[in-house]
Amino acid sequence: MFNDRIDAGLLLAEELKNYSDNKNAVIITIPRGGLPIGNTIAKQLHLPLELVLSKKIGHPINKEFAIGAVTLSDSILSDDANLVSKEYLNEETYKIRTLLKERHNRYYGTKKPLNLKNKIVILVDDGVATGHTLISSIKLIEKQKPSHIVVALPVGSPSAIEKIKKLPYVNETICLLKPSNFHAVGQFYNNFNQVSDDEVVRLLKEANNNLQVNI
């Protein structure tokens, strides 16, 4: 059980201390819940913090079931997408990309995302239930050809963690808790308040300022 996301971030940072001050390593986090954890780890290890701005394409009958994912510049589709109309996929891709552009402008302004080629990517979130969204993000990151992918999570369902470990391009998976009674990520935090867009912007600025101080 974690007190809050910062508590979880401190515990994960201890597991990741071998990457401290590594000039090729970067913390990548999934907004919005992953930001407090990612920022805490970035501060402890003196590493840059970036967002993975991606969103799943949900199946038209069950929006929670991911059939693909979209970033600002790329997309992937699973085999399940073959049974869905191209019109639906195109419409969803357009809607998602419009939303991601708005988020990028809100979070980053004119700053361009970091090039992940040959980087050690440490992907962080506050937990994982089914793994669909996280796995989609991993696949999109892999297309940028990082040298190493580490997935670091405070808590996850055993089935989702096994799926992530089996991905051929994930080099290391760290998960502090893999409870058999897993129902939802929030049940393992005393404080699991929603993270606002304003908080995301504040944490990104804080991470950038901390990194400049440590350079």
Amino acid at 91: E
Amino acid at 136: S
72: pLDDT strictly greater than 60: yes
Altogether, the residues listed in the chain come to a count of: 215
pLDDT in tens, 77-113: 888 899 999 999 999 999 999 998 898 888 887 677 7
User: What is the band of 156 on the pLDDT scale with cuts at 50, 70, 90?
Assistant: very high
DSSP string, 127-140: -BSS-HHHHHHHHH
Q: Range(s) for CATH 3.30.1310.20 in the chain?
A: 56-107
Please tell me the class of the 56-107 domain. Answer: alpha beta
**Predicted local confidence at residue 188, as pLDDT:** 97
pLDDT in tens, 31-46: 889 999 999 999 999 9
Q: What is the largest CA-CA distance in the chain?
A: 52
Name beta bridge partners: 128.
156
User: What is the band of 211 on the pLDDT scale with cuts at 50, 70, 90?
Assistant: low
User: What is the band of 6 on the pLDDT scale with cuts at 50, 70, 90?
Assistant: very high
> Which of 107-111, 168-172, 178-182 shows the lowest mean pLDDT across its residues?
107-111
pTM for the full model? 0.87
Average pLDDT over residues 125-138: 88
Q: Range(s) for CATH 3.40.50.2020 in the chain?
A: 5-48+116-214
**Predicted local confidence at residue 64, as pLDDT:** 79
pLDDT in tens, 186-207: 999 999 999 998 898 888 888 8
Q: What is the CATH number of domain 5-48+116-214?
A: 3.40.50.2020
